[in-house]
Amino acid sequence: MRIWRFLPICAFVALTGCASSSSTKFTDANTVTPRLAADKGRIYFYRGGSIFGVAIQPEIKLNNELVGRAVPGAFFFVDRPKGSYEASTATEVETKLSFALTSGDTKYIRISIAPGVFAGHMQFELTSKPIAEAELASLNRADSMASR
């Protein structure tokens, strides 16, 4: 019966091992990240590495286009032309965040999870560069689905 005690730990290790497709940290990724084109802005999406809701990794859409997943302990970014954007995701409820992007601008969107009835509810929050970069420092880069 002792094996049942270790099952949640094994599941957690397996899920966190699959959490991102690369192990490039944010600070390392900045050295190989392509420069931002003059006519575009950059949008970072990131989620801290809390074990709460680790199995919940919903799709992230930007203006209804799939751009990535809310992977715990990971970040990704997309470059887009200036304009109005709406980030969205859904578990048992849909979450949206509207914002404007200008050329040369960088937006940082923190993704967090709050308890729900059947599944966690994802939440978006625009954060400032200093706060975001401090939180991003320990996260791994995940692939953006927009580049596939």
Question: Using one digit for the tens of pLDDT, what is the confidence trace for 19-63?
Answer: 444 456 665 555 557 889 999 999 999 998 766 666 788 899 999
Single pTM value for the model: 0.76
Q: How confident is the model at residue 68 (pLDDT cuts 50, 70, 90)?
A: very high
- Tokens 């995701």, located at residue: 89
Q: What is the pLDDT of residue 139?
A: 92
Question: Using one digit for the tens of pLDDT, what is the confidence trace for 80-91?
Answer: 999 999 999 988
Domains of the chain: 3-147 (2.60.40.2890)
Task: Give the number of other Cβ atoms within 10 Å of residue 105's Cβ.
Answer: 14
Q: How confident is the model at residue 69 (pLDDT cuts 50, 70, 90)?
A: very high
